[in-house]
Chains A and B, each alone.
Chain A
Amino acid sequence: MNRSIRALYLTLAAGFAVLVLMLGYWQVIAAGELDERADNPYTLEKQRLVDRGRIISADKVILAESVVYREKGQKYYRRYYPQGALAAQVVGYATAREGSTGLEQQYNRYLAGSYGTGAILDRLRDETKDGADIRLTLDTRVQKTAEALISGRKGAVVAIEPKTGKVLAVASSPGFDLNQVASDFASIRKESGAPLLNRATGGLYPPGSTFKVVTATAALGSGTWSPSSTFDDKGVYVVDGKPIYNSGKAKYGLHNLTDALTFSINTTFAQIGDRLGGRTMGREMTRFGFARPVEIDLPAGEVAVSGRYRDGKLLPNEQRDSDSARIAIGQENLQVTPLQMAMVAGAIANSGRMMRPYLVRRVITRDGVVVKQQRPQEVGSVSSAYIASEVGRMMGSVVSEGTGTEAGLAGLSVAGKTGTAETGDPERNQAWFIGYAPADDPKVAVAVVIEDTSGTGGTEAAPVAGEVMRTALSVGPVQGEPSA
């Protein structure tokens, strides 16, 4: 019987060996994955133990920091946002209950100190590393100006540096106080106007006439037209038996392409779109980055894709049977984000080269070690430098003598394009302005959208854009931080 006893013992011992392996799977191999699950109470609890990194603007203003407090002798950290509501949707929040958004989510790995190869070793030693700081490209002075100008209204402002893609301001109104997220999230959610939505990156609007910048680029790129090509406006252009009119049913008669952009003449652009066709218009849209997610350092869920939508679904840019005449004037189910339109203006400003927009300049530890650095990166070319300069010159005329004069700045040349998307209710226009300044050496490109206004792009959005650009130019590059 002793042989059986031995065999039974070995069988049971082998069973325990299997248990050891299984346990090792859960405690070591699968542990990281389990720790990252959203409903894991340990992870949420442990977040309170981490001295999370700070979020600091380009002008060295602290937007988010961790404040220490003691409870039953244990050191805990609580997130504090000294600027309250400033850039709330971009900075985002990081809470156990409400999850996380914005940069707090996108850079969580760095902010929470769980980056690098040391992370696994830290796990083995059960140590927690202090979080690293993130330094933004965003300038609070530009941001504050933008937010003040649209406060009380629904809308968004994006300001970028066209040569680098650095994002200077991302404003979305209405906003909310980040410090209120931890204490009273319910009332933020109840507020009207969806304050949690980042309209600048996640809001989709019909672009209206601002899209004519894309059409003008395609027109010059085709070689068929130049800024001085002449057109004769009869006040209406008919496509597929349906008429396209100018704003206010105006009739312009003989004019050239520059005039057409300056006064936003629909019939001319519809005609150009019609003659270019869906393929050519679509190709230009692809070059401008439409129908493709913008690679910005924000959570993917907070950045909407600009393009043509039908029944909530994105359509490809190049669709054979598309109505290129109406696309050319920004209609036909086009839905765009302010970020995308700021990039359109930025690409024209930067000699046709579109730069990847970015919010975080560098990730840096408390003792000054740079963990991650972002550099300007070109994402594509929308046109030749010559065509971009021609389109830019036409956009300059929009501001100097056309629909965008309100964006003009004393002593500086500004280039831009207005847009007014009508919703059918005259009190609820979507007013747009995209542009850049100074026209001869662009330092800032902007996109402004104001929702639900009785005014137009020229009266509502252009003055905001002008003021934001003026602030951006006056603050200049931050000292000791050479741009690019």
Chain B
Amino acid sequence: MSLRTRELGFLVPALLLGMLGLAAGASARADELQAGPWQTALGVAMVFVVMHAVLRMRAPLSDPYLVPIMAALTGIGLAMLYRIDPGLAGDQAIWVTLGGIVFCAVIVFMPDHRVLERYRYIIGLTAVMLLVFTMAFGTEVNGSRLWIEIGGGQRVQLGELAKVLMVIFLAGYLREKREVLAIPTQRRLGMNLPAPRHLAPILVFWGAALAAVVVLNDFGTALLFFGVFLAMLYLATGRALYVGLGITLFAAGSLFIWAAVPRIGARVDSWLHPFTDPQGGGYQMVQSLYALADGGVVGPGFGRALLVTEGGTPRIPALETDFIFSAVSNDLGYVGAIGVMLLYVLLMARGFAIATAARDGFSKLLAGGLTAVVGLQAFIIIGGVVRLVPLTGVTLPFMSYGGSSVVVNFGIAALLLVISNRSRQGLVEAVRGVPAT
């Protein structure tokens, strides 16, 4: 069986899962058996089928599991959005279509991702500019300044794109510097460290991440950027010391900011003690915890939990974005929520497998970095929901409502598949004795 046929074999049940979820949500809403918004469901299914077809033609040797996992997450996300507000699911379907277009464009127009390595500094600079632009001109939504207003009342999160660009830059930069970073040249404070000029980037990133906490007022975004940086630094050098050092620096800096900036102190307090002010600062968290408790072990099923009031407003603010995981846990219970988390672990397994199979340092770093960004982002926002980390403004990849997030994550998946296709192609050609192009 070819890789693509295997992909199709997994894609069909994954798509059916989403469709059934939508139908179940619609049936719960109407209290009678309904097919649900089948046009939306079919449209999204078509997007995935087209993606599959494009892969069949242009990247036939790419990993066959990534697209079905994406489809399952997207489908469950759509079903959740539909049960919160049918209008949201309609919008999201458009974003998924847009994401599909970006996905296909990457596959078709970038058969070899290694061109990116050449432009690493331009890409890195663009990422920095996007972030600075957001810091300077961003609009604050729900207390975090992550959005840029564009025409027609639409907002984009440039940080989502900057995130990917940063991973590409780091993959190129660290490939170049990995030797000097990996070899210690001096001993300070009982630690073997490389030359100070090679350490500088760590400190720059540390400073930038903390600045982001203060300016963007978002701990999650800063944690994500810094975490991905550390992950890639570790991939490149294999030295856990950097990770330890980085985490220590970040924790120390965060503690300092928590003590020094009252606005952020208040946020952290409502994270640590949501029940002291359940109607004020702790409201969102407390309502979310009630939703988790209500979900219990198995949950009442798609659309059956009391997540939305009779008037149609969600009980938890930002339910469709930051708190979509609470909705999953409430409707589908602990079992369903574990299922969704396993999908993310599977996604990471495939991503890191692609990184392992890649045949050059840049590809390995790029695939590993992109996988880490998705995995870490899911970890941070779910961690926020279960109160492991302070509440954050990052989205749950493939599931949260929002165009920027969906499009960027589809792009990430496309990049991973290009890398995967490339490395297997190289392998096939090497076996056949044909030189890799």
Enumerate chain A residues within 8 angstroms of B287, measured Cβ to Cβ.
Answer: 41
Would B344 and A8 count as touching, CB distance under 8 A? no
Which of chain B's residues have a CB closer than 8 A to the CB of A126? Answer: 296, 298-300
Interface centre among A2, A5, A41, A123 (most CB of B within 10 A): A5
The interface residues of chain A lying within 8 Å CB-to-CB of B286 are: 39
- B368 touching A5, Cβ below 8 Å: yes
Interface centre among A18, A27, A72 (most CB of B within 10 A): A27
Task: Say yes or no: is B6 at the interface (Cβ < 8 Å to chain A).
Answer: no
Q: How many Å lie between the Cα of A31 and that of B334 in the bound state?
A: 11
Interface contact A124-B298, CB-CB below 8 Å:
yes
Quick one: which of B220-254 are within 8 Å of A by CB? 231, 234-238
Interface size class of chain B, counting residues whose CB lies under 8 Å from the partner chain: 35 or more
Closest chain B residue to A33 by CB distance?
B293
Q: Do the beta carbons of B231 and A8 come within 8 Å of each other?
A: yes
Set A1, A6, A19: member contacting B361, Cβ < 8 A: A1
**Any B CB within 8 A of the CB of A243:** no
The count of A-to-B residue pairs whose CB atoms sit within 8 angstroms is 133
0/1 string, B64-106, CB within 8 A of A gives 1: 0000000000000000000000000000000000000000000
Shortest A73–chain B CB gap in Å is 4
Interface 1/0 per residue, B282-307 and A, CB below 8 Å = 00001101111111111110000010
| Cβ contact within 8 Å between A27 and B31 | no
A127 shortest CB reach to chain B, Å: 11
Is the Cβ of B292 less than 8 Å from the Cβ of A26? yes
Q: Is the CB of A34 within 8 A of B352?
A: no
Interchain CB contact under 8 A, A22 and B348: no
Chain B neighbourhood of A8, CB < 8 A = 231, 234-235, 352, 368, 372
CB-CB under 8 A for A39 and B386, given A6-B356, A8-B231, A27-B337: no
Stretch at the interface among A9-17, A188-196, A416-424, A429-437: A9-17
Q: Is A117 an interface residue (CB 8 A)?
A: no
Smallest Cβ-Cβ distance to B306: which chain A residue? A45
A23 close to chain B: CB less than 8 A: yes
Quick check: A19 and B388 within 8 Å, CB to CB? Answer: yes
| Contacting pair B293 A23 (CB below 8 A) | no
A4–B386 contact, CB under 8 A? no
Closest to A26 in B: B292
Select the residue from A6, A23, A126 with max chain B CB neighbours within 10 A: A23
Interface residues of B (CB under 8 A from A): 31-32, 231, 234-238, 278-279, 286-287, 289-300, 306, 315, 329, 333-334, 337-338, 341, 344-345, 348-349, 352, 355-356, 361, 364-365, 368, 372, 375-376, 379, 382-383, 386-388
Instruction: Give the 7 A-B residue pairs with the shortest CB-CB distance, closest first.
Output: A34-B293, A73-B31, A31-B293, A22-B386, A26-B292, A27-B334, A42-B294
Q: List 26 A-B contacts (CB under 8 A).
A: A1-B238, A1-B361, A4-B236, A5-B364, A12-B372, A16-B341, A16-B382, A19-B379, A19-B388, A23-B292, A25-B386, A27-B292, A27-B295, A27-B329, A27-B334, A31-B293, A34-B290, A34-B292, A34-B293, A37-B290, A40-B290, A42-B290, A45-B306, A72-B31, A73-B32, A123-B296
